[in-house]
Amino acid sequence: MGMSMNSIPPSPNSARIMIYCVGLRPLMNHRKIKKLLVANRGEIALRVLRSAKEMGIQTVAVYSEADRHALHVRFADESICIGPPPSAESYLRREKIIAAAKATGADAIHPGYGFLSENEDFAQEVIDAGLLFIGPPPEAIRIMGNKIAAKNAAAKFKVPLVPGTSEPITDIPEAKKLAKQIGYPVLIKASAGGGGKGMRVVNRDEEFEEQMERAVSEATSAFGDGSVFIEKYVTQPRHIEFQILGDQHGNIVHLFERECSIQRRHQKVIEEAPSSILTPELRTQMGEAAVNAARSCGYFNAGTVEFILDEKMNFYFLEMNTRLQVEHPVTEQITGLDLVRLQIQIAEGEKLPFAQTDLHINGHAIEVRVYAEDPANNFLPDIGTLKTYRRPQGHGIRVDDGFEEGMAISFFYDPMIAKMICHAGSREAAIEKTIRAINDYQITGVETTLGFCRFVMEHPAFRSGKFDTKFVEQHFKPEFLKSAANDGDQELVAAALAATAFAERTTAGTLNEVSSTRSKWKQNRIK
């Protein structure tokens, strides 16, 4: 990489003064990154490292003792151990990560998603250490990290909100009065919420007190902050989010939407772009609202504005994720853009290389998340070793993963094995490609969400585009997967039994294991 393009020194004080003088926009950093540290693990660490390498940037991986042999460690030019396996002692230790950057001479940190990616203190400490943070300004993370602050900021920019309270509430009788005004059903949400925690649906006045107490106690134990607020509960909701990109010169564009309504436990499992139900007009309106939400907090870099869409096609702002999302590849496939490269260029101070009118949707992309989870057992994590692991291949198939055959899925971290993204000319073709690729994906040793994802791809409601976030509740029964195991393919069962070292797994529930192993072999064999 070349020399620094600009001689503005990275001074923490000048950055703060700039924030003070020009609102939320901090000092522009016109400097080329020479060495990048990725403060993450697994597929996203690899994803970021690859783009950095392509840009000629030197790369540094950090790892916990559990990840000594992980692929991201092998892939990076240098690596540094930051502590024991629990993330609280390694990937969440801000000072260790900054020390690792200093020790290796890195000049920038990319946080990936999860871990420290939405921690404004970390972002500020990175800047204060004279390093570039590949992400938004800390102030934007702070505003959007609190659901109430986020809603109030967005409201000032005329972004539509779900009807509800604009202040945190603790007083139960007062809250009950407001719930009545909003009209049941209502949703009680934790201000500091995330991951669907601290959220309670209340259908009737009589249930209110009990649910409110539960929401407060859940929020207190999960986030150390018991403040909650009330929203109208949108029935038949679709979760539609917009990818935005902003530079440090005030330009913000959106890269269209992602449909993320297929969820289990309020968490996404299948995403697609574009959504099958947005009209071009609605896409323009929602895109503009997303850009305004980003403006409302002085945003730059990549971010995602989440909306909920009701059955009458009214949309409401939910929250903004101030980082790269797990599902960003579907957007990359339909726009042909490398979001990580753009994130790096934005952090370096470059202008966005395109305007909104330059951007177009090309075809359709679907991502299925391959988790080591058992869909037949309420999607509980199923930790183990990948005895067989063969990725599907072919035109328009992208697999972002962090594993090889024989590697173990650690119970210390998220049980996602891979993301498989299929891109084709139309939604129908993308669905067909996804089914073919699922059938080609061979995984044994753990249960996975692959069979469940095929069930969704084949389901008439998904195919017709008429579905909402309750799809799993309404249409999925574990028996649909088990039945594949019960139609007796003796040869297959024998092969499965021979190939799976049962001794390594718990001996309890062997019968279930036999049938699920059969089902797995049927699901994943090459057709």
Q: Which residues contact 370 (CB under 8 A, 6 or more apart)?
A: 401, 416, 417, 418, 419, 420, 441, 443, 448, 449, 450, 453
CB of residue 347 vs ligand ADP: minimum separation in angstroms? Answer: 25
Distance (Å, whole) CA 242 – CA 75: 31
Residue 359 C-beta-side C-alpha neighbours within 13 Å: 23
Tokens of 362: 């090309």
Per CB under 6 A, which of residues 213..272 are in contact with ligand ADP? 231, 233-234, 237, 239, 263, 266
Per CB under 6 A, which of residues 159..178 are in contact with ligand ADP? 162
CB of residue 17 vs ligand ADP: minimum separation in angstroms? Answer: 33
Which amino acid, one-letter code, is at 308?
I
Residue (327 or 348) nearer to ligand ADP, CB: 327
Residue (73 or 212) nearer to ligand ADP, CB: 212
CA distances, 527 to each of 374, 438, 441 (Å): 23, 10, 10
Would you call 323 a catalytic residue per the annotation?
yes
What number of chain residues touch ligand ADP (CB under 6 A)? 18
CB of residue 223 vs ligand ADP: minimum separation in angstroms? Answer: 10
Torsion (CA) 320, 448, 406, 87 in degrees, nearest 10: 30
Q: Binding of ligand ADP at residue 318 (CB under 6 A)? A: yes
Helix ranges restricted to H, 441-482 = 450-458, 460-464, 471-475, 479-482
- Partners of residue 243 on adjacent β-strands: 304
Residue (110 or 147) nearer to ligand ADP, CB: 147
Residue (201 or 501) nearer to ligand ADP, CB: 201
Residue (166 or 362) nearer to ligand ADP, CB: 166
Residue (165 or 469) nearer to ligand ADP, CB: 469
Residue (222 or 282) nearer to ligand ADP, CB: 222
Q: Binding of ligand ADP at residue 183 (CB under 6 A)? A: no
Q: What is the DSSP letter of 256?
A: E
Q: Choose, by CB under 6 A, the member of 187, 202, 324, 457 that binds ligand ADP.
A: 187
Contact region with ligand ADP (CB under 6 A), list: 65-73, 79-87, 187-195, 382-390? 187-195
Per CB under 6 A, which of residues 38..67 are in contact with ligand ADP? none
Distance (Å, whole) CA 469 – CA 27: 41
CB of residue 515 vs ligand ADP: minimum separation in angstroms? Answer: 32
Of the listed 323, 369, 391, 427, which one is catalytic? 323
Name the strands in the sheet holding 78-81, side by side, starting at the edge strand that comes first in the sequence. 78-81, 58-63, 35-38, 108-110, 132-133
Name the strands in the sheet holding 416-424, side by side, starting at the edge strand that comes first in the sequence. 315-321, 301-309, 238-246, 252-264, 267-273, 364-371, 416-424, 397-401
CB of residue 494 vs ligand ADP: minimum separation in angstroms? Answer: 43
Tokens of 239: 């979760």
Report the largest interatomic distance among the alpha carbons of the chain, rounded to a whole angstrom: 74
Phi, psi torsion values for 153, nearest 5 degrees: -65, -45
Contact region with ligand ADP (CB under 6 A), list: 194-202, 215-223, 245-253, 335-343? 194-202
Residue in the shown chain whose Cβ atom is closest to ligand ADP = 234
CB of residue 233 vs ligand ADP: minimum separation in angstroms? Answer: 5
CB of residue 238 vs ligand ADP: minimum separation in angstroms? Answer: 8
Contact region with ligand ADP (CB under 6 A), list: 27-35, 189-197, 349-357, 496-504? 189-197
Q: What is the DSSP letter of 410?
A: P
Q: Binding of ligand ADP at residue 469 (CB under 6 A)? A: yes
CB of residue 350 vs ligand ADP: minimum separation in angstroms? Answer: 31
Q: Choose, by CB under 6 A, the member of 85, 160, 194, 381 that binds ligand ADP.
A: 194
CB of residue 411 vs ligand ADP: minimum separation in angstroms? Answer: 23
Say which residue the tokens 């980003």 belong to.
294
Beta pairing, strands 397-401 & 416-424: antiparallel
Residue (217 or 510) nearer to ligand ADP, CB: 217
Distance (Å, whole) CA 439 – CA 278: 30
Helix ranges restricted to H, 82-207 = 94-104, 120-128, 138-145, 147-156, 172-182
Residue (472 or 481) nearer to ligand ADP, CB: 472
CA distances, 191 to each of 155, 168, 309 (Å): 16, 7, 21
3-state secondary structure 133-150: ECCCCHHHHHHHHCHHHH
Which amino acid, one-letter code, is at 492?
L
Per CB under 6 A, which of residues 125..154 are in contact with ligand ADP? none
- List interacting residues with ligand ADP (CB under 6 A): 162, 187, 193-196, 231, 233-234, 237, 239, 263, 266, 306, 308, 318-319, 469
Could you give the residue numbers annotated as active site? 323
